[in-house]
Structure 1
């Protein structure tokens, strides 16, 4: 059991940030210049473990959306996820 990776990590900080700014999953997917799916964003928000690559895609999409909206976002991966791969 101790060697098993915990997959469900509870709601992540990204979920609260997106709620606060009124950004939904579709906006992130639409803003992404990389291949990012609704399912990946939803998994990340709910606290299912996602890869470092997906975390970076979500961060890049978030930066695009906040820049487009004129929001000041200096968010980093540490601000969005309370775990790191």
Structure 2
């Protein structure tokens, strides 16, 4: 498998959840108390590989923006 393919996991569950809740990338960035960028959220939604630390930041931003308390596995289908 090519290295580029190993880093692309396709559309992630976070994308569907954000669409369902009518959340934008900006909503997550604004709700975050950490350094979460629009680029991080965009990569998360598209399925680009992110480190565990960045996925955790996106998770906390999603939970803050949505008012929910979902687990990491609910947003991403890779480890």
Query: Which residue of 2 is the match for residue 76 of structure 1?
Result: 71
Q: Please, which runs of 5 or more residues in structure 2 have no aligned partner?
A: none
Give the total of aligned pairs. Answer: 78
Query: Which residue of 2 is the match for residue 45 of structure 1?
Result: 45
Runs (4+) of structure 1 moved beyond 2 Å? none
More helix by share: 2
Q: Please, which runs of 5 or more residues in structure 1 have no aligned partner?
A: 68-72
Query: Which residue of 2 is the match for residue 32 of structure 1?
Result: 32
d(CA) in 1 for partners of 2:48, 2:62: 18
Normalising by structure 1, we get a TM-score of: 0.85
Instruction: Indicate the RMSD between aligned Cα atoms, in angstroms.
Output: 1.4
